[in-house]
Homo-oligomer: A and B are copies of this chain.
Amino acid sequence: MKNTYFTPGPAQLYPSVARHVQTALDEQIGSLSHRSQGFRRIYQHTADQLREMLRIPDGSGIFFLGSATEVWERVLQNCVERESFHLVNGSFSGRFHAFARELGKHATQVEAPFGEGFNAGDAPVPETAELVCLTHNETSSGVSMPVAEMHALRSAHPGRLFVVDAVSSAPYPDLDLKLIDSVFFSVQKAFGLPAGLGVWIANERMLAKAEQLAAKGISIGTYHSLPSLFKNFRNYETPETPNVMNIYLLGKVAEEMNRQGIGAIRRETEAKAQRLYDFLDRSASFDVFVRNPAHRSQTVIVGSVAPRQSSQPKTATQVIEALKAAGIVVGGGYGSYRNQHIRIANFPATSTEEVERLVRELGKV
């Protein structure tokens, strides 16, 4: 029997993925030249579907990289001469900030305690920061940043570039990409694909910044610099041989999501999240880890195990093992919280019925 994966990435595959993989093999997509019309059609189809779903403005490029981790590096390399500013509310936003330092940038941050979020709208962006880095959804802690706050912060600082890490939430957040300059995500989270592809969306302001840096003799990398990516994108090509299979699969899944409607997917996501939070809240064995309801992620739900009121406290490992016996896989806590938290991905690939089954099994633990 197959497991149902509620892990926060790699996660449950979108239900149609196996069928699309079969079609790709039948159509020999794996042998298709990345300089062929056939590949350009695939790239364009995937880009068109994402453009529709995420309301990506016409001038923005849609690029395929190796991972969202790579995008962290490329964003900083291409768009920061001296200083980036980061709102850090967990391990992944913290690593984004650390990357800036490793690249020799002056990287400043404001950090929230683990499990707490920001009222980002009034964050103290330094006058000197060129790029503001926000993480919509912290996969490590289950904290999310309200979209309206990100938009407010952006509007208060029109002279900077704003980039949003939506790795474990896209396409859930309804970002206004006329305001936000760049967003990125990886496909093994809410798009339900095998790992190995990061998607980077960036506008022409980002490109202009990269060109300014290059003109000053600052290294912005080689094949995955924004000028190189934009130049290739205009022809629906990539600078290197890319993960063609995943680009194809992403287009197919995005097409199905668009057919269902992104609004319907977002509402279903919220309903499933509500069900999980309600359960954790009422359960004697669990608590919701993120206390402030406004900062609770809709896509990565973190529960504390063995809260004080429980008479027979369990460890996260025991909970995970019990679920596994029922064919359900959830994630453990991140880092030092390994044995205190369970992390439950709430992505479109897992249905309302599967969430109900998870809740039932959690109730038995």
Report which A residues bind B (CB closer than 8 A).
Answer: 2-3, 5, 7, 9-13, 17-18, 21, 25, 28-34, 65-70, 72-73, 98-99, 102-104, 186, 188, 193-197, 217, 219, 221-224, 239-246, 329, 331
**Complex partner residue of A240 from B13, B33, B70, B243, CB under 8 angstroms:** B70
Does A240 contact B30, Cβ atoms closer than 8 Å?
no
Residues of B within 8 A of A3 (CB): 28, 31
Does A240 contact B67, Cβ atoms closer than 8 Å?
yes
Known interface pairs A10-B33, A102-B219, A221-B73. Does A186 touch B67 (Cβ–Cβ under 8 Å)? Answer: no
Residues of B within 8 A of A28 (CB): 2-3, 5, 13
CB distance from A348 to the nearest CB of B (A): 14
Does A66 contact B70, Cβ atoms closer than 8 Å?
yes
User: What separation, in Å, do the CA atoms of A244 and B7 have in the docked complex?
Assistant: 16
Count the copies.
2
Q: 11 new A-B pairs (CB below 8 Å) besides A69-B223, A188-B241?
A: A10-B30, A29-B194, A30-B195, A66-B66, A66-B70, A68-B240, A104-B217, A104-B219, A195-B243, A196-B241, A197-B243
Does A222 contact B30, Cβ atoms closer than 8 Å?
no
User: What separation, in Å, do the CA atoms of A73 and B223 have in the docked complex?
Assistant: 8
Residues of B within 8 A of A34 (CB): 10, 195
Does B195 contact A241, Cβ atoms closer than 8 Å?
yes
Across the two chains, which residue of chain B brings its CB closest to A220? B102
Across the two chains, which residue of chain B brings its CB closest to A331? B33
Does B31 contact A241, Cβ atoms closer than 8 Å?
no
Across the two chains, which residue of chain B brings its CB closest to A72? B222
